[in-house]
Amino acid sequence: MHEAAGSETLKYFEMARKYLPASLWASGSIVTSFIVERAEGSYLIDVEGRRFIDLTSQWSTNNVGNVNEEVLRAAIEGLKQYGFIIYGLNLHKAVFDLVVELLRIRPSQKLTRVALELSGTGAVDAAVKFAVKSKKRPHIISFLGQYHGYYTGTLGYGPESADARKYFENFYGNSAVLLPYPDCYRKPEYMSCEEYGKFIIDYIEDIVLRYQVAPDRISGVLFEPIACEAGVWIPPDSFIHGLRRLADNYGWFLIADEVMTGFGRTGKWFAIQHWNIDVELMPLGKGISGGIFPIAAVYGSEEAMATEPVEYGTTFGGHPAGCLAAVANIRVMEKYNLVENSERLGWKVLKRIKEWPDRYEIVGDVRGKGLAIGIEFVKDKRLKTRNPESARTVYFECIKRGVVPLMDMGDWTLRIQPPLTIEEEVLMHAVDVIEESIRLAEKEFKKR
Ligand SMILES: Cc1ncc(COP(=O)(O)O)c(C=O)c1O
């Protein structure tokens, strides 16, 4: 058990209150729990020298471990060699080093080109632009609860929450047709998960295309193959294969947002490989460079990227140091079999926690693929009422015990998304800590 936050931490909390945007410290925020001073491997170390097991990998970014030495060295070499060269104006060699590697590991033969960006948000934005401009069709289909970034554009087609869109509603026009994502935990009771996925596909075809938008006005379908930010929603096969069928029938692109799920997170290099489907566009970010240097990319098909000029990008997109960090990141993932590690450790954790919904009143569901695992808290198992109070208790009890799970306020699903390099015994210890924290939260819940 860690000592409570001391004066050094409180000093920074005070500064946060004074100098940072209110969203980072407002009451109810889970951000200000400790102040990181250093990171290494599976750990975060705070200003008081306390060590925390990092189950977040910084939102699935540091998949190769915090401060991976090999990736760091590559980025430093890149900086020494190039400083900064702008990719949209003066092409540099590091672009080709990365593009060749990305094409080597591509998940679909249809993906023949690569555009570079700076952030996941930028990559999604660019992918939608490639779709709309090359198809010359103004609409895309997208799904409620998905997250594609907080910028105004991406919030238009990735409405993570109604709150995030508040006051900006008029920025979005009607370019995105927004539909439910098959969250199988909260599906209608009388349907199986597969039936729910099929229902949404049928709804698109029978209702949306008949009454809302003609199929030849739609350029693509933007979807997360596993919706991690929403609370690790794993869609049924009927949904993913149904999207592919619709795209083939009506000439739409499938745009799979793998910013979070890519680079081994779900036990495959890319999550669409769980379904073995082709897609025409795929934004990548986060784990692409192990968190060492920001860079993002978009895979595209010939039709998406070679038929129309498309304006996309930002000054720092395709930074040489980011390109070389990303190349090193791929090599590290291969050298240490991190995709296999993700799958193997994910199974072990799921096996260990799968009984929790039976054992604990407040645990509604556990689900996951690879090292993207979610634990959902409820007040009532039958009604599936969300339980923010217990979720928060579990989160803070874990922090007290030196474990940092990932949690987003809103969906109240506690997530286990550690670096894919995490040592098995460290991970299993963290799972013990989560269980101990659930026991405490359950006791508190019963007292209420
Ligand atoms: C699926 C998905 N797409 C896009 C983004 C945005 O990426 P970034 O925050 O790097 O801009 C995120 C970030 O969490 C994400 O999870």
State if residue 158 touches ligand 1 by the CB under 6 angstroms criterion. no
Clarify whether residues 350 and 317 are in a common domain.
no
**pLDDT for 25 beyond 70:** no
Q: How many domains does the chain have?
A: 2
Residue 422 C-beta-side C-alpha neighbours within 13 Å: 36
279 and 331 co-located in one domain = yes
- Over residues 327-337, the mean pLDDT reads 98
CA distances from 281 to 45, 113, 213, 223, 438 (A): 38, 10, 22, 11, 40
Tell me whether residue 2 is in a domain. Answer: no
- Please tell me whether the overall predicted TM-score, pTM, comes out greater than 0.85 for this model: yes
Give the angle subtended at the CA of 426 by the CAs of 423 and 431, to the nearest 5°: 125
Mutate to test the pocket of ligand 1, among 260, 282, 288, 413 (most ligand atoms within 8 A of CB): 260
Question: Is residue 119 lining ligand 1, measured as CB closer than 6 Å?
Answer: yes
Q: Which domain holds residue 240?
A: 69-335
Phi, psi of 298 (to 5 degrees): -135, 125
Mean pLDDT, residues 87-111 taken together: 94
- Flag whether pLDDT at 293 surpasses 90: yes
To test the ligand 1 pocket, which listed residue (286, 288, 415) has its Cβ within 8 A of the most ligand atoms? 286
Q: Give the pairing of strands 385-386 and 372-380.
A: antiparallel
Distance CA(54)–CA(291), nearest Å, equals 14
pLDDT exceeds cutoff 60 at 400: yes
Is residue 246 located within the same domain as residue 150?
A: yes
User: Residue 262 has what pLDDT?
Assistant: 98
Say whether both 356 and 387 belong to one domain.
yes
Mean pLDDT of 314-326: 97
For residue 233, the 8-state DSSP code is: B
pLDDT score, position 22: 82
Q: What pLDDT does 285 receive? A: 98
Using most ligand atoms within 8 A of CB, pick from 58, 59, 147 the residue to mutate for ligand 1: 147
Q: Which distant-in-sequence residues (6+ apart) come within 8 Å of 283 by Cβ?
A: 117, 120, 123, 124, 126, 127, 255, 257, 258, 259, 296, 297, 298
Neighbouring C-beta atoms of residue 316, cutoff 10 Å:
16
Question: What is the per-residue pLDDT for 31?
Answer: 61
| Residue at a domain's end among 274, 306, 335 | 335
Work out whether strand 113-117 and strand 51-54 pair parallel, antiparallel, or are unpaired.
Answer: unpaired
Q: Which of 294, 314, 335 is the last residue of a domain?
A: 335
Position in ligand 1 atom list of the atom nearest CA 122 = 11
78 in Cβ contact with 294 (< 8 Å): no
Residue 28 has pLDDT above 60, yes or no: no
The pLDDT value recorded for residue 4 is 78
Looking at the structure, do residues 39 and 111 belong to the same domain, yes or no?
no
**Residue 57 pLDDT exceeds 60:** yes
Confidence of residue 24 (pLDDT cuts 50, 70, 90): confident
Nearest protein Cα to ligand 1, atom 16: 260
Q: Judging by DSSP bridges, how do beta strands 139-144 and 218-223 pair with one another?
A: parallel
Ligand 1 atom nearest the C-alpha of 257 is 1
pLDDT higher than threshold 70 for residue 29:
no
Query: Is there a domain that residue 1 lies in?
Result: no
Query: Do 373 and 226 sit in the same domain of this protein?
Result: no
The atom of ligand 1 lying closest to the CA of 229 is 16
Q: What is the pLDDT of residues 236-274, one digit of tens each?
A: 999 999 999 999 999 999 999 999 999 999 999 999 999
The answer to whether the CB of 285 is under 6 A from ligand 1 is: yes
Segment (H or E) for 400: helix 388-400
Return the pLDDT at 323.
98
CATH number at residue 91: 3.40.640.10
15 falls within a domain: yes
Determine the pLDDT at residue 153.
85
Confidence grade of residue 114 (pLDDT, cut at 50, 70, 90) = very high
174 falls within a domain = yes
Q: Is the pLDDT of residue 160 over 60?
A: yes
Averaged over 137-155, what is the pLDDT? 93
Q: Identity (one letter) of the amino acid at 371? A: L
Q: How many CA atoms lie less than 13 Å away from 408 in the CB half-sphere?
A: 16
Average pLDDT value over all residues in the chain: 95
For residue 234, name the pLDDT band (cuts at 50, 70, 90).
Answer: very high
Check whether residue 195 and residue 310 sit in a common domain. Answer: yes
pLDDT at 219: 98
Ligand 1 site, residue 145, Cβ cutoff 6 A: no
Pick the closest to residue 287 from 316, 258, 257 (CA basis): 258
Establish whether residue 284 lines the binding site of ligand 1, counting it when its CB lies within 6 angstroms of any ligand atom.
no
Which residue from 56, 62, 118, 124 has its CB within 8 A of the most atoms of ligand 1, so it is best to mutate?
124
Can you give the C-alpha Rg of the chain in angstroms?
A: 22
Q: For residue 166, what pLDDT is reported?
A: 87
Fill in the amino acid letter for 348.
Answer: K
More confident residue, 233 or 14: 233
What is the position in ligand 1's atom list of the atom closest to the CA of 149? 6
pLDDT in the model for residue 359:
97
> What pLDDT shows up at residue 32?
63
* Tokens at 79, concatenated: 């900086």
- Distances, alpha carbon 210 to alpha carbons 132, 177, 206, in Å: 21, 13, 6
Provide the pLDDT confidence category of residue 26 given band limits of 50, 70 and 90.
low
| pLDDT given for residue 378 in this prediction | 96
Lowest mean pLDDT among 2-16, 278-292, 308-322, 330-344: 2-16
Let me know how long the chain is.
448
Residues 30-38 have a mean pLDDT of: 82
Asked if residue 116 and residue 18 are part of one domain, the reply reads: no
My answer on whether 342 and 321 are in the same domain is no
- Same domain for 345 and 329: no
On the question of pLDDT at 189 being above 60, the answer is: yes
Token couple for 347: 């199974």
Write the residue with the smallest CA distance to atom 8 of ligand 1: 120
Please tell me if the CB atom of residue 149 comes closer than 6 angstroms to any atom of ligand 1. yes
pLDDT band at 88 (very low <50, low <70, confident <90, very high): confident
Ligand 1 proximity of 121 Cβ (cutoff 6 Å): yes
Q: What is the pLDDT of residue 257?
A: 98
pLDDT at 411 over 90: no
Separation of alpha carbons 126 and 121, rounded Å? 9
- Helix, strand, coil shares of the chain, percent, nearest 5, are 45, 15, 40
**pLDDT for residue 369 is more than 70:** yes
What are the DSSP E strand ranges found in 291-407?
296-300, 363-369, 372-380, 385-386, 403-404, 406-407
User: Ligand 1 pocket check: which of 118, 125, 148, 413 to mutate, most ligand atoms within 8 Å of Cβ?
Assistant: 148
Ligand 1 center from residue 123 Cα (angstroms):
9
